């Protein structure tokens, strides 16, 4: 019996090694247009929610390049968008029957700039736009959504800019965000997601040596992100790196349009799911949809979150609305998506 068990374990380890080698041999996609076949997108396991974050680099433009087809195929429970560049909610973008909860935060600073949106099948308990009233967010960069067992903070972090002209603003933003996350974590754990505009480690971009003073890879921004992960009272984890510590080119989520970056696999990992420590047991996987390039200069990032802690017998109450049509009618009374005004 022991010999048989050892043999089986040996076969398992050997099979895992072969699978790992095979995955390493698969080239990173270099397509420049969105796929026409999405059969490779597996549905979320029955015990998981599927949460997607995606910088669309202009939602109206992305819709002409395959964005809607991708979302229909992916079918996430929650979809977080950044850089929508929308001046007002796009009321007919998503069916209310499919996503009864549609949240928009548009830039007040200037038109056609920045902007975030969240589409959810799960019913929020509360929604907050930006930080506090006296904060620095007038560019529509932040939507915080409270669900039954976690807070979702969907964010488009400011870029430090060419020649780092906005680096100080960026670092102030990070400080505000740490305070915001800590306040939320006093009640329940947080998923902090979006285009966080930082490549945390050298492995997170193709050319670290030549980008040490480039926006997104300065030591100041990287140390600031380290401080966000550390948390003063509530430690957090970079969920992708927790599960995939050695991933490199297959981890990149951004490929600039210039100099054939996509074709050369010259990319950056700028999009994240940062989770409070209590949520780590519920993270089943984080997947870079690196095949899904072309609607934007970013690719989507997918979090598979278990509906409950594997060690717990109690299922959380975060569930899709049972009657989406009724929810759609109710939510139109207070949902910002029903308004034609900017947030």
Q: Is 302 exposed, middle or buried (0-12, 13-18, 19+ CB in 10 A)?
A: buried
- According to the annotation, is 297 in a ligand binding site? yes
- According to the annotation, is 197 in a ligand binding site? yes
Please give the domain boundaries of the chain with CATH numbers for all domains: 48-306 (3.60.10.10)
Instruction: Give the catalytic positions in this structure.
Output: 156, 195, 298
Q: Is 166 exposed, middle or buried (0-12, 13-18, 19+ CB in 10 A)?
A: middle
Q: Give, rounded to a whole angstrom, the gap between the first and last alpha carbons of the chain.
A: 67
Angle at CA 38, nearest 5°, toward 33 and 42? 135
Below-50 pLDDT ranges, the chain: 1-13, 15-25, 313-315, 322-343
What pLDDT does residue 312 have? 55
- According to the annotation, is 195 in a ligand binding site? yes
- CA-to-CA distance for 125 and 186, rounded, in angstroms? 16
* Cα dihedral 175/180/185/189 (nearest 10): -90
The alpha carbon of residue 100 and the mean position of all alpha carbons in its chain are separated, in whole angstroms, by 20
Measuring CA to CA, which residue among 35, 44, 103, 104 is closest to residue 75?
Answer: 44
- CA-to-CA distance for 45 and 50, rounded, in angstroms? 9
pTM higher than 0.75: yes
- According to the annotation, is 83 in a ligand binding site? yes
For 331, the 3-state DSSP assignment is helix
Longest dimension (CA), the chain: 71
Contact between 68 and 322 under an 8 Å Cβ cutoff? The reply is: no
Tokens of 66: 């395959």
């Amino acid at each position: 019996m022991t010999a048989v068990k050892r043999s089986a374990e040996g076969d398992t380890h050997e099979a895992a090694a072969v699978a790992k080698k095979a995955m390493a041999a698969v080239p990173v996609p270099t397509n420049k247009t969105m796929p026409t076949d999405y059969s490779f997108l597996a549905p979320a396991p029955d015990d998981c929610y599927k949460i997607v974050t995606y910088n669309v680099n202009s939602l109206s433009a992305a819709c002409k390049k395959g964005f809607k087809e991708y979302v229909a195929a992916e079918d996430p429970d929650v979809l977080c968008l950044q850089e929508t560049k929308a001046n007002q909610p796009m009321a007919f973008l998503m069916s209310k029957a499919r996503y009864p909860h549609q949240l928009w935060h548009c830039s007040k600073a200037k038109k056609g700039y920045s902007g975030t949106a969240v589409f959810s099948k799960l019913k929020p308990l509360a929604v907050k736009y930006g930080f506090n009233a006296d904060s620095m967010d007038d560019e529509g960069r932040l939507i915080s959504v409270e669900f039954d067992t976690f807070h979702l903070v969907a964010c488009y972090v400011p870029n430090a800019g060419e020649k780092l002209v906005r680096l100080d603003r960026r670092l102030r933003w990070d400080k505000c965000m740490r305070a915001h996350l800590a306040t939320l974590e006093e009640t329940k754990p947080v998923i902090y997601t979006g285009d966080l505009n930082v490549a945390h480690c050298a492995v997170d971009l193709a050319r670290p040596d030549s980008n040490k003073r480039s926006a997104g890879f300065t030591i100041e921004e990287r140390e600031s992100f380290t401080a966000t992960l550390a948390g003063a009272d509530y430690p957090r984890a970079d969920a992708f790196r927790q599960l995939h510590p050695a991933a490199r080119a297959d981890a990149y989520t951004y490929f600039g349009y210039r100099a054939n970056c996509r074709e050369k696999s010259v990319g950056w990992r700028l999009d994240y799911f940062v989770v409070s420590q209590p949520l780590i047991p519920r993270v089943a996987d984080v997947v870079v949809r690196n095949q899904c390039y072309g609607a934007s200069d970013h690719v989507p990032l997918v979090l598979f979150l278990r509906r409950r802690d594997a060690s717990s017998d109690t299922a959380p109450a975060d569930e899709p609305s049972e009657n989406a049509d009724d929810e759609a009618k109710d939510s139109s009374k207070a949902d910002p998506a029903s308004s034609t005004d900017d947030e």
